[in-house]
A and B are shown apart, each in its own frame.
Chain A
């Protein structure tokens, strides 16, 4: 079971703001979903290695040679707010 405090904490880590009503609702919903996950408890996974991906490829590397890349001008041109070639955002410290 997840409690309100944990949900608030996770919301902060997720950079999402919720009001009290939403926190309550998410707590309820997430608890129900996490409860459902307990079906995995009865599956024996002793000595099983976690599987992280679907691809069996290993060590895929790029050729170490310079080549044409994105046209950075077209990207800079589309940023929401800029000054010269810099993206504008808020200050880290207030």
Chain B
């Protein structure tokens, strides 16, 4: 059920909020736990969600004015702080961390009446592209339990896919909502950097982190975005405009729109099935009157990934220095002095990939390597931004597949570099500071014998990515909405 559908049912009295929340909780309990469970949830906000539901029902009965999300159960990635509700960032070092405040985005959701139903699993500190790097265990893809759901917002994606929440907040630093959206047949929207306040988001890479919605459809993403964006004095990089209606031009069509696809995205590693869906999707857009052209973006692909994996670990090494066991989180007491205490705490409670990135970052920033790596990457980052700007002078949108392959097997990408390359189509948008969205482009046959929680469904989703210029979510969402309608019509 989408946000719009849930709201309608509540307002029409078709279902009480209490029953609605109970249904969602039951769904979570049915599929999330156990050995082959989806494992999308780290903390279930059961008691609070039930209590809120009672309040919503009273409001509806009394005929009170309702918020845009009144009574709608939303899941929050566990890297976003929630007041008095455990927030682990999927790391053992925050296993006992209970924030004293809500992230601004969460505050905005609550103000609109949303019910926080669960805190969701993710790659530890959002360091990953598959959901496998969580200290709380891997999240499984509901369509094929042996495959990954995509990361790092793995749980936020999976819970929406299996119907444990109406929508969810994830984060997107290099593709972390678009990858799960692609692997789960959902919508993942990465807003322009600065549109959504980062206050209360546990930082990975402050200069590109974005809080980002994962939803069933594009309308829901537009609704959530309008609610969570604002200019927040407590995040000096935020300059969002609150309450903007992104759905206003949804029926305008796409005739005459100029859409480009980078030739660099059609590289060797691109899976044939994904390629086929991509070109079918392009034909579909063409038939609606869009003008499609190939372009060259030489920095798209490997150069962007290289820049990304220098800049991101560099910021990580500094942002994660705060996890030292002193003021909050877990600590290792058997230490001889303060330095030993820091090291023992971090060694015991940080995961493998987190350590790898801290090391990589400290390396790139160290005196002998600073110019060759960090500085070089920041220079290429400027070139990426300029390259994208130039492309958007001529084209309204740039499109690519979201990922090179359909969902892959759990454990398949044991080599860290292979995992980094999963971001090959997605990291570019973050570095360029633009907005992007992944929408389902179609489904392909799945030959695996693995189980699915959807009986009879033997297909895997393929994502289609749109990118638009900075602050142009309006065009991005309008076209994505149109596209989504075409795809669902074709798949019927």
Residues of A at under 8 Å CB distance from B? 2, 6-7, 10-11, 13-18, 26, 29-30, 32-34, 36-37, 39-40, 43, 45, 48-55, 57, 60, 62, 70-71, 74-75, 78-81, 87, 89-94
B59 at the interface (CB under 8 A from A): no
| Chain B residue contacts of A39, Cβ below 8 A | 302-303, 306
A-B CB contact pairs (8 Å), 26 listed: A10-B359, A10-B363, A14-B358, A15-B324, A15-B343, A16-B346, A33-B360, A33-B420, A34-B363, A37-B309, A40-B303, A40-B376, A43-B303, A45-B376, A45-B383, A51-B385, A53-B207, A54-B194, A57-B239, A60-B236, A60-B237, A62-B233, A87-B326, A90-B336, A90-B337, A90-B338
| Chain B residue contacts of A62, Cβ below 8 A | 233
Closest 7 CB pairs of A and B: A50-B378, A51-B382, A54-B433, A54-B193, A45-B379, A60-B236, A94-B337
Verify B416–A33 contact, CB threshold 8 A: yes
The answer, among B333, B344, B366, for a CB contact under 8 Å with A17, is: B344
A92 to chain B, nearest CB (A): 5
| Chain A residue contacts of B321, Cβ below 8 A | 15
A-B pair number, CB within 8 angstroms: 158
Verify B359–A80 contact, CB threshold 8 A: no
Besides A17-B344, A55-B239, 8 more A-B contacts (Cβ < 8 Å) are: A13-B362, A34-B373, A36-B306, A49-B382, A51-B382, A51-B385, A55-B237, A93-B337
The answer, among B317, B327, B341, B363, for a CB contact under 8 Å with A79, is: B327
Verify A51–B309 contact, CB threshold 8 A: no
A29 to chain B, nearest CB (A): 5
Verify A45–B380 contact, CB threshold 8 A: yes
Task: Please report the C-alpha to C-alpha distance between residue A56 and residue B331 in the assembled complex, in whole angstroms.
Answer: 39
| Chain A residue contacts of B366, Cβ below 8 A | 10, 13
Which of B324, B325, B359, B363 is most buried by chain A, counting CB atoms within 10 A of its CB?
B359
- Which of chain B's residues has its CB closest to A73's CB? B100
Verify B355–A80 contact, CB threshold 8 A: no
Residues of B at under 8 Å CB distance from A? 96, 98, 100-101, 193-194, 207-208, 233, 236-237, 239, 299, 302-303, 306-307, 309-310, 317, 321, 324-331, 333, 335-344, 346-347, 350, 355-356, 358-360, 362-363, 366, 373, 375-383, 385, 415-417, 420, 430, 433
| Chain B residue contacts of A18, Cβ below 8 A | 347
Task: Please report the C-alpha to C-alpha distance between residue A70 and residue B102 in the assembled complex, in whole angstroms.
Answer: 12
Verify B380–A40 contact, CB threshold 8 A: yes
Verify B342–A15 contact, CB threshold 8 A: yes
Per DSSP, chain A at the interface is loop
A30 to chain B, nearest CB (A): 6
| Chain A residue contacts of B358, Cβ below 8 A | 14, 16
Task: Please report the C-alpha to C-alpha distance between residue A7 and residue B239 in the assembled complex, in whole angstroms.
Answer: 40
| Chain A residue contacts of B309, Cβ below 8 A | 33, 36-37
B299 to chain A, nearest CB (A): 7
Verify A30–B383 contact, CB threshold 8 A: no
| Chain B residue contacts of A43, Cβ below 8 A | 299, 303, 380, 383
| Chain A residue contacts of B239, Cβ below 8 A | 55, 57
- Which of chain A's residues has its CB closest to B384's CB? A51
A71 to chain B, nearest CB (A): 7
* Contact A50-B381, Cβ < 8 Å, known A15-B343, A55-B237: yes
A77 to chain B, nearest CB (A): 9
* Contact A40-B359, Cβ < 8 Å, known A45-B383, A79-B327, A92-B338: no
- Which of chain A's residues has its CB closest to B299's CB? A43
| Chain A residue contacts of B303, Cβ below 8 A | 39-40, 43
| Chain A residue contacts of B310, Cβ below 8 A | 37
| Chain A residue contacts of B341, Cβ below 8 A | 89-90
Task: Please report the C-alpha to C-alpha distance between residue A34 and residue B378 in the assembled complex, in whole angstroms.
Answer: 16
| Chain A residue contacts of B96, Cβ below 8 A | 80
* Contact A7-B233, Cβ < 8 Å, known A16-B350, A79-B327: no
B320 to chain A, nearest CB (A): 9
* Contact A36-B417, Cβ < 8 Å, known A16-B359, A60-B236, A80-B331: yes
B366 to chain A, nearest CB (A): 7
Task: Please report the C-alpha to C-alpha distance between residue A87 and residue B321 in the assembled complex, in whole angstroms.
Answer: 18
Verify B382–A2 contact, CB threshold 8 A: no
Verify A30–B363 contact, CB threshold 8 A: yes
A80 to chain B, nearest CB (A): 5
Verify B347–A70 contact, CB threshold 8 A: no
| Chain A residue contacts of B376, Cβ below 8 A | 40, 45
Verify B331–A50 contact, CB threshold 8 A: no
| Chain A residue contacts of B378, Cβ below 8 A | 50-52
| Chain A residue contacts of B381, Cβ below 8 A | 50-51
Verify A92–B360 contact, CB threshold 8 A: no
| Chain A residue contacts of B98, Cβ below 8 A | 78
| Chain B residue contacts of A14, Cβ below 8 A | 317, 346, 355, 358-359, 362
A79 to chain B, nearest CB (A): 6
* Contact A26-B347, Cβ < 8 Å, known A37-B309, A50-B381, A54-B208: no
B144 to chain A, nearest CB (A): 28
| Chain A residue contacts of B337, Cβ below 8 A | 90-94
Task: Please report the C-alpha to C-alpha distance between residue A93 and residue B335 in the assembled complex, in whole angstroms.
Answer: 12
Which of A29, A37, A53, A89 is most buried by chain B, counting CB atoms within 10 A of its CB?
A37
| Chain B residue contacts of A60, Cβ below 8 A | 236-237
